[in-house]
Amino acid sequence: MSGISLLKCICDDTRFEILEMLQKEKELCVTDFVVKLKKDQPLISHHLKTLKKCGIVMSRDEGKKAMYKISSNHLAELISTITKASKKIPLLCNESNCC
């Protein structure tokens, strides 16, 4: 996967929120995301499917539910670095039409 492809996969508000949660919690199910992000289950499932297709997250079955986690430590570190960097740069993308 190229750097551009990776960024395209994670550059969505919902997908990045999912990745931030996984970076902190390590492993979560769809219901965890629905409750914490206050978004509909089909939307969360769609984004998890996209992240899984890109190889960014992986899942395992636990009874009737699927548990998701970031597929590698390198990706988890990248998410952490992006989150930390964004907090250190206070005026990122202020204009509504910027990104």
Residue 67 lies in a domain: yes
Closest CA to 30 of 50, 43, 44: 44
Question: Within a domain: residue 42?
Answer: yes
Residue 44 lies inside a defined structural domain of this protein: yes
Domain-located, residue 92: no
Kindly report the pTM of this predicted structure. 0.85
Query: Has residue 85 been placed in a domain?
Result: no
* 46, part of any domain: yes
Structural domain of residue 41, as residue ranges? 3-77
Backbone torsions φ then ψ of 13, nearest 5 degrees: -55, -50
CATH number at residue 44: 1.10.10.10
Residue with the bigger pLDDT between 68 and 97: it is 68
pLDDT tens-digit map of 25-48:
989 999 999 999 999 999 999 999
Residue 7: predicted pLDDT: 87
Handedness of CA 7, 57, 17, 13 (dihedral sign): positive
Q: How many independent structural domains does the chain possess?
A: 1
- Nearest-angstrom CA–CA distance, 13 and 22: 14
Q: Is the pLDDT of residue 93 over 90?
A: no
Q: Is 89 exposed, middle or buried (0-12, 13-18, 19+ CB in 10 A)?
A: exposed
Could you tell me if residue 11 is inside a domain?
A: yes
